[in-house]
Chain A
């Protein structure tokens, strides 16, 4: 029987999220002083040494990104942007952090700002997260009043301002370059990558874009050191990870464990097991832009390296459990509907492709067994073409769930 390992969520549900005093009493904002006692370069080195990887989906090493953002000296203007758009179906962990411990994110943002010598940071939050916005806004006011934000923070000579910007209902705006477009007051159409945000980001200046959970890890790393951080998780995915477990489980919720936790331990020991107590049929890891795994993967360790070996992804940490009585075809149709809905329409392969594969999927239920297999094959081939020719990662995503559905569940789809 495993239990949670709460580092990010250590104070969640323990302290009042709207009280800066309680956060400080629990050791909050101490890491900020530690950062100021050191140099920005040393802070970047510590994050590099920690091996922290981005928690927004791609798993990119955070230290390297910081280095890249800090390296450029184009007039010394740079920005830190927190990606709190959290639109991936099945994912709600960032909301939990923001609602239960907003000061942790703020402290992480200030440390990130200091490490790349940025003077301004933005938290871009999806428009529907009213409670997160409210709590963070309140916490930011408190942080200003206490001198943790603003001019010459704690007498360090470092000044940093922090603002919240709402999104307005677009999954694509969670993609970092599209997010920056949206932040600049534009429609959410993606930019061509490269250049990466660390080279040419917000208002074309070097910009560090990190996920909420990634930033929330910084106070721990700076306060306790990189080797402490490495004492959790695996060698290649150090630290803890927040998992959003939902679907057919008894206790859906956000659970924090060592990265590398065994899939079935997470489902059975923390999420209370499947709703009907029977072994699950499938798990969709990482959301709509994630991968399906069959029950034979139940002993899999949830870390970037193991999952990659198995052709699966961790993505945002969504763990969508699909019970043994569920049908996979409606789920597949729902995923394709999602992409169809969220495609921005800027490039042809994705605009036409997302509509086409969704419509084809609607024909599956009425088809015979053999025909189902060939429709699935056609959809998968189409998604593969889209992955090659689409302009941005959204059009490159449908192949992830579709390809893994085909590999593991063709037979079930033919007969269900």
Chain B
């Protein structure tokens, strides 16, 4: 969808800022907020660009840098950590060749180490874009990555 169309779907009310930034970010194939999109959001809400910039920079779900098609958010909060998430971050590192906060050169995956996702009943857990994966093991993690590679050319 076109950026202006997305913005037009929100009334020009500051309470919509976070929802609008989510929508703009989700719409970008590289899952990030471009300067252009921040400008468009600011002018729609009639606030300074610096305001929108500050908000986009504050919240951990927003990115001002291009990211991969699949955002892997792996939880490393106390419950997942206790159940072995640090080891899984290493596994991801060895499969994908990147560490937390990095994107694979082919632009497919970004790994982010995040705090509790509210799915501790299936710890260790992670989300890939909107989907939850729990009770992770080295094996299941490898299988998930394989599956995502196959999925890459299909729409979500």
Contact residues in A for B18 (Cβ distance below 8 Å): 127, 165-168, 182, 185
Q: Contacts A246-B123, A247-B82 known; A183 to B61 CB distance under 8 Å?
A: no
Residues B14 and A334 in contact, CB atoms below 8 Å apart: no
User: Is A46 close to B, CB under 8 A?
Assistant: no
Q: Contacts A92-B119, A244-B121, A246-B120 known; A168 to B22 CB distance under 8 Å?
A: yes
Number of residues of chain B lying within 8 A (CB) of chain A: 39
> A331–B83 Cα gap in the complex (Å)?
10
> A335–B77 Cα gap in the complex (Å)?
7
Residues B118 and A288 in contact, CB atoms below 8 Å apart: no
Residues B117 and A128 in contact, CB atoms below 8 Å apart: yes
Q: For B115, B118, B127, which residue has the most chain A Cβ atoms within 10 angstroms?
A: B118
Q: Contacts A127-B22, A247-B79, A331-B81 known; A254 to B121 CB distance under 8 Å?
A: yes
Q: Contacts A86-B118, A127-B61, A244-B121 known; A331 to B73 CB distance under 8 Å?
A: no
Closest to B123 in A: A246
Considering only residues 17-68 of chain B, those with a C-beta below 8 Å from chain A are 17-19, 21-22, 45, 47, 51, 54-55, 58-62
Considering only residues 119-136 of chain B, those with a C-beta below 8 Å from chain A are 119-123, 127, 130, 132
Residues A342 and B73 in contact, CB atoms below 8 Å apart: no
Residues B78 and A338 in contact, CB atoms below 8 Å apart: yes
User: Is B98 close to A, CB under 8 A?
Assistant: no
User: Is A252 close to B, CB under 8 A?
Assistant: yes
**Nearest chain B CB to A266's CB is how many angstroms away?**
14
Closest to A401 in B: B78
Residues B76 and A334 in contact, CB atoms below 8 Å apart: yes
Closest to B14 in A: A185
Number of residues of chain A lying within 8 A (CB) of chain B: 52
Against B, the Cβ 8 Å flags (1 = close, 0 = not) of A316-345 are 001010100010001100110110011000
Contact residues in A for B16 (Cβ distance below 8 Å): 185
Considering only residues 164-203 of chain A, those with a C-beta below 8 Å from chain B are 165-171, 182-188
Q: For A91, A92, A171, which residue has the most chain B Cβ atoms within 10 angstroms?
A: A92
Residues A90 and B79 in contact, CB atoms below 8 Å apart: yes
Residues A91 and B118 in contact, CB atoms below 8 Å apart: yes
User: Is B116 close to A, CB under 8 A?
Assistant: yes
> A188–B45 Cα gap in the complex (Å)?
19
Across the interface, B81 reaches (CB within 8 A) one of A166, A169, A252, A334, namely A334
Residues B22 and A89 in contact, CB atoms below 8 Å apart: no
Closest to B121 in A: A252
User: Is A258 close to B, CB under 8 A?
Assistant: no
Residues B116 and A165 in contact, CB atoms below 8 Å apart: no
Considering only residues 93-125 of chain B, those with a C-beta below 8 Å from chain A are 114-123
Across the interface, B120 reaches (CB within 8 A) one of A91, A335, A341, A342, namely A91
Closest to A284 in B: B78
Contact residues in A for B153 (Cβ distance below 8 Å): none
Residues B118 and A129 in contact, CB atoms below 8 Å apart: yes
> A341–B101 Cα gap in the complex (Å)?
14
**Nearest chain B CB to A206's CB is how many angstroms away?**
17
Contact residues in A for B82 (Cβ distance below 8 Å): 247-248, 320, 322, 326, 330-331, 334
> A5–B141 Cα gap in the complex (Å)?
37
Closest to B127 in A: A128
Contact residues in B for A184 (Cβ distance below 8 Å): 14-15
Residues B115 and A87 in contact, CB atoms below 8 Å apart: yes
Residues B61 and A169 in contact, CB atoms below 8 Å apart: yes
Residues A87 and B55 in contact, CB atoms below 8 Å apart: no
Contact residues in A for B130 (Cβ distance below 8 Å): 130
User: Is A126 close to B, CB under 8 A?
Assistant: yes
Residues B59 and A170 in contact, CB atoms below 8 Å apart: yes
Contact residues in A for B120 (Cβ distance below 8 Å): 89-92, 244, 246-247, 252, 318, 320
User: Is A233 close to B, CB under 8 A?
Assistant: no
**Nearest chain A CB to B134's CB is how many angstroms away?**
10
Contact residues in B for A254 (Cβ distance below 8 Å): 121
User: Is A95 close to B, CB under 8 A?
Assistant: yes
User: Is A253 close to B, CB under 8 A?
Assistant: yes
User: Is A88 close to B, CB under 8 A?
Assistant: yes
Could you list some 5 contacts between A and B, CB below 8 A? A95-B119, A128-B127, A168-B59, A168-B61, A341-B115
A-B pairs with lowest CB-CB distance, top 3: A185-B14, A168-B59, A185-B17
- Which of B's residues lie within 8 Å of A, judged by CB? 14-19, 21-22, 45, 47, 51, 54-55, 58-62, 73, 76-79, 81-83, 114-123, 127, 130, 132
Known: A168-B22, A170-B58. 20 other contacts (CB 8 A): A87-B116, A89-B78, A89-B79, A89-B120, A92-B121, A128-B61, A165-B15, A166-B18, A166-B19, A167-B18, A170-B60, A171-B115, A186-B14, A244-B120, A246-B121, A247-B79, A252-B123, A288-B116, A320-B120, A322-B82
